[in-house]
Structure 1
């Protein structure tokens, strides 16, 4: 019998992509509120308590309200908002984050879907913190650029509005300049850091896709590791994973090659390279001469950074094949 799933907030960007990933599956049935009862709170409550799993694609406060309405202990809840990512009793839904994390997700009834930026940052740094190559109190900076879809409906409309005078002509926009971005708490918690990392996010004029980078001074790290030490640690950590891949040393070096007449020219990295997938690719760009490294993650902010991860977690918690639909 197919497992029933209610996507609360299915009309939003993440909700629509989750629904698309579940379409055509025979092991999952997506149920929706009867249009005639769309504004009936009792109808919503019935669905929240009457399905096998609920995926919340709502603003934080609305997500908390939805969880408060669920009194059926058997219902699995996956929350795509930031409301519960560091909340007690919730399992963080990044299956590749640590040994045993998949089992925690499989057993959980409350799963917090990770943020897109944190997915890339945690993937890059947690293995190195656990290996002792980065100390928990090391001052880490994150530079990242995302497609404008990460900003929700308002930013999407601003970037896509035509003619441009009614929208925006910005090609690139830094934000989070108050240093109070809501993703920082989960970055710190799940990377294993003693202090909040310094996060510098931005959006570009492309709909989806993402590059996350963490620069490191090797000479300042404990043990003075080499570029190869960091790269080897990441390769070992993600060995055998399907959705997280570490680029080979040769591939990283190829991307670092200079072009005649253009010193320090870096071949383009495409933030949209993994769009439509649940994959994430990690790179280690380094210089032993300078004793510096730039850790880099490429992923789809709406894939591994949102809907792909949500479906992966849904599969795990419902006892279905992990990669089904993604």
Structure 2
């Protein structure tokens, strides 16, 4: 018994050492001075969940660097059907008259729990229903489509196939934007998270490339990293930038954006006190400085969500991303 307890305590101690070491490495990533080039290219975006009051949205759009909005347009059911959000036309009409240079994309969500390891997230029949349906929604006054499907297990073949089908249904001109999962911080690092949580939180770089092969724009989420400290969250975001640029940087005519937390309720995702807009933006600039993406790759940030962004979030966007470079 004593031998067993000794071995058990030694194992626990080893795990704690690894956790502390990983935390230190992540925090170390969140250090340094960003380059002048790591700033807005006037190709930023924002999610919009509600349009009953457009004051917050107007304040963001008046800044002038957001050219794309992901407008919440409906929920995708497991069978591939879509439940539309009513009256999106009111927002589209307002945008067209007030901010005609801003592109609205139809944001369609499929969010559930569990893994798609043993069963495709969308089997053949459901894909055949979904692809033309989302294309019809996108054609209803939008400039294209923004798809959020999660969780999806790495190597689920249904999602790359679905994206190819959606691209064919959309045609070449409408924008196809895909919200990726977090990219794993180290090769194989997603496995521990999968075992612990029972669903996929991370994608490998290779799978992210497969899923987004036909996309014009890719967005990495900047929320729900679930890091225990602000420094680790910053380091996490730095790695999101460097790893996704490594995965997708060679693609031509691609826009790659990184999410910035700016929501206040629990409707869109869990709240984490360490996830702040200013921290995310500082980390994104550091990540871009380290990654040195090619000039052909357009990069930007995306606020989650514009209609819930507070003055502090907008100040972080102005000063951290658009303001004078230190």
Given the two structures, how large is their TM-score scaled by the length of structure 2? 0.30
Given the two structures, how large is their TM-score scaled by the length of structure 1? 0.30
Greater relative CO, 1 or 2 (CA 8 Å, sep 6+)? 2
